[in-house]
Amino acid sequence: MAMIRRLSQRSAKVVLTIAIGSGSVAAFQLVSVKDEIAIGQQAQQELRRETPQVGDARVRQYVSDLGIQLAQHASGAHYPYSFSTADYAELNAFALPGGPVWVHRGILSAADNESQVAGVIAHEIAHIAERHAARQITKGTVANGLLGLLGAMLGNDGAGAAAAQMAAGLTANSVMLKFSRDDERAADRVGVDILARAGYDTHGLVEFMRVLGAQQGRSPGSVEQFLSTHPAPVSRVRDLEQLVAANPGGGRRTSAQFADVKRRLAQLPRAHAMPRS
């Protein structure tokens, strides 16, 4: 669940300009933790401007509290995690580099219990903790033959501006579209660990994959974007079942707050349809 696809061309360029401007040209990791955070914050600013958030502050607070509680069990760098709730009906969730996570209202509406929502969020936290975005940015840059270009830019200010513009144009569409299947599998594995450490029944994540499958039958459009960037739920459910059997976690399934959120959502005006990009 890792879609940064909705970011506009412009913000993709900003992202790359920052990535390139940071000036670290290590062979396999161009992007430092600090860079990741800066890139994510930049993208987050734009998303905040463009994305309607759920109108009920208690719902937003619930998602934020749940996310922060889960993030305390993440390993790796201390990223400034944040959790926002988009007022979109489509089922989707995604992580930006270095901390920001977005959950669509459709996820909350479709989930039957808190452990399912926690599972989705834990998976997104895992993408951040495992630095998958940094790898994608690095890979995209390398794939476009930009390493040499970067070197030239850093060594020659005169050529810099034109080269940077060319670099941004080349890579805007290729860098941040989606994570690899390996990264998705890793996010499931690490997400299950986070869920278990936080005391949740890890079956929640598997259950939510089944919810997605059922939703696909009822309303294909509502899960289209999710499915375009993720392994098919059938294979994912199979892999997840093994992970969960090996690490069932604690007994936490749901909460009074979750029930309250469901009631509140039912009273809100209909969620927005996500704009097509």
Residues that bind Zn ion (CB under 5 A): 1-2, 184, 187
Whose Cβ is closer to Zn ion: residue 20's or residue 93's?
Answer: 93
Would you state the structure tokens that stand for residue 10, as one six-digit string? Answer: 């412009």
Q: What are phi and psi of 106, to 5 degrees?
A: -55, -30
Is 50 known to be catalytic?
A: no
- Residue of 87, 90, 124, 184 marked catalytic: 124
State the nearest-atom distance from the C-beta of 270 to Zn ion, in Å: 27
The sign of the torsion formed by the CA atoms of 82, 87, 88, 91 equals: positive
Q: Which of 36, 188, 193, 207 is catalytic?
A: 188
Select 20 or 129, whichever has its Cβ closest to Zn ion.
129
Select 1 or 66, whichever has its Cβ closest to Zn ion: 1
CB of 178 to Zn ion, least distance (A): 8
DSSP, residue by residue, 115-181: HHHHHHHHHHHHHHHTTHHHHHHHHHHHHTTHHHHHHHHHH-HHHHHHHHHHHHHHHTTTSSS---H
Instruction: Identify which of residues 2 and 54 has a Cβ nearer to Zn ion in the complex.
Output: 2
Q: Angle at which helices 132-143 and 181-197 pack, to 10 degrees?
A: 170
Closest distance of CB 259 from Zn ion, Å? 27
Minimum gap (Å) between residue 3 Cβ and Zn ion: 9
Active site residue 207: no
Q: Which residues are catalytic?
A: 124, 188
